[in-house]
Amino acid sequence: MNTVSLGSVRQWHWVSSAICLAGLLLFAITGFTLNHAASIESAATTVTVELEIPAPQLEALEQLLAQHATTPTPPDWPPALANWVQQQTSERIQRQQLEAAQWSASELYISLPRPGGDAWLVLDADMGELLYERTHRGAVAYLNDLHKGRNTGAAWSLFIDFIALACVVFAITGLWLLIRQQRQRPTTWAITTLGLLIPLLIVLLHRL
Predicted confidence at residue 4, as pLDDT, reads 45
DSSP letter string over 75-118? PPPPHHHHHHHHHHH-----HHHHHTSEE-SSEEEEE--BTTEE
Delimit the domains of the chain by residue range: 9-40+153-199, 45-140
Q: Select from 83, 86, 88, 82 the least CA-distant residue to 49.
A: 88
**Confidence at 116, pLDDT banded by 50, 70, 90:** very high
**Confidence at 72, pLDDT banded by 50, 70, 90:** confident
Predicted confidence at residue 187, as pLDDT, reads 80
* Contact status, residue 160 vs residue 145, Cβ threshold 8 Å: no
Q: Report the alpha-carbon distance of residue 44 to residue 141 in Å, rounded.
A: 10
Residue range 11-52, pLDDT digits in tens: 888 888 898 999 999 999 999 999 988 888 778 899 999 999
